[in-house]
Amino acid sequence: MRLHGKTALITGAAGGIGRATALIFADEGAEVILADTDTAGCDALCAEIRDRGGRASWFGVDVTSEEMVSALFASLREQSGRLDILVTIAGGDLDPFSPADGISSDMIDRNLALNLRSCMICCREAARLMKSQEYGRIVTMSSLVYRGAQGQFSYAAAKGGIAAFTRSLAMSLGTFNITVNALAPSLVDVPVFRKTLGQERWDALVRESASRYPLKRIAHPIDVARAALFLASDDAAFITGQILEISGGARL
């Protein structure tokens, strides 16, 4: 078991990638703490993990609220006082198809708050705990769009910001035996896309994307979860400040 004895906090745990990550972490022996606004999803996932013999608990947290994030970490400090792993997965593009001359300040603020600011605040709180332990594994969620993407202006800026922040944090925390790395997936097959785009548009997007990727398919959540597991485990003890593209070779 690669995470035996470790405690891992996962934000966005009730979503497609978060769920796969929580399940594989629990299967590998971690005690997982799920954080998400989707409390029903967290509750169901928690029950599923316990049914499989794992250890899990959950917190209903809006990661855009600094107050709620601080309260979550205050609870963690009170409960066990220890956090080995943080994976910041909560996020998503709130403004996917704006024209370049239609960017609004409101959407910039909302996309940066959900994707970038929340990650920075969670990492700050985790760093406070992990520095005193002289141990930590932080895995952030960027995206392949950190390189830039047509029509995804504030989201790409946020994910690019996460990549730069991840490297900066790695430079500061290495001395405390804390590694910080980012995941950068290309298109992942998660239920939310089918729901928002409809089956027909989703199928067309999958066909078009897969045809451009050397591996000729899009990612499944488990592809991303396995990469998160690697970076969170001691197999990656000497890897820090990296942006790991999980993309089937999409942009070589």
Ligand X SMILES: NC(=O)c1ccc[n+]([C@@H]2O[C@H](COP(=O)([O-])OP(=O)(O)OC[C@H]3O[C@@H](n4cnc5c(N)ncnc54)[C@H](O)[C@@H]3O)[C@@H](O)[C@H]2O)c1
Within residues 138-197, the interface with ligand X by CB under 6 A covers: 141, 143, 185, 187-188, 190, 192
Q: Cβ of residue 189: shortest distance to ligand X, in angstroms?
A: 8
Residue 178 in 3-state DSSP?
strand
Do 162 and 115 meet the contact criterion of CB atoms below 8 Å apart? yes
Does the protein bind ligand X through residue 34 (CB under 6 A)? no
155 classed as catalytic: yes
Within residues 56-115, the interface with ligand X by CB under 6 A covers: 61-64, 89-92, 114
Alpha-carbon gap, residue 119 to 128, rounded angstroms: 14
Indicate the residue among 14 and 243 with the shorter CB distance to ligand X: 14
Within residues 206-235, the interface with ligand X by CB under 6 A covers: none
Query: Which residues are 138's β-sheet partners?
Result: 86, 180
Query: DSSP assignment, residue 175?
Result: G
* One of 17, 127, 178, 228 touching ligand X (CB under 6 A): 17
Residue closest to ligand X when measured from CB atoms: 15
Does the protein bind ligand X through residue 12 (CB under 6 A)? yes
CA nearest 155: which of 68, 41, 181, 163? 163
DSSP H helical ranges for 80-219: 105-111, 118-133, 153-173, 191-197, 199-212
Interacting residue ranges for ligand X, rule: CB under 6 A:
11-12, 14-18, 36-38, 61-64, 89-92, 114, 141, 143, 185, 187-188, 190, 192
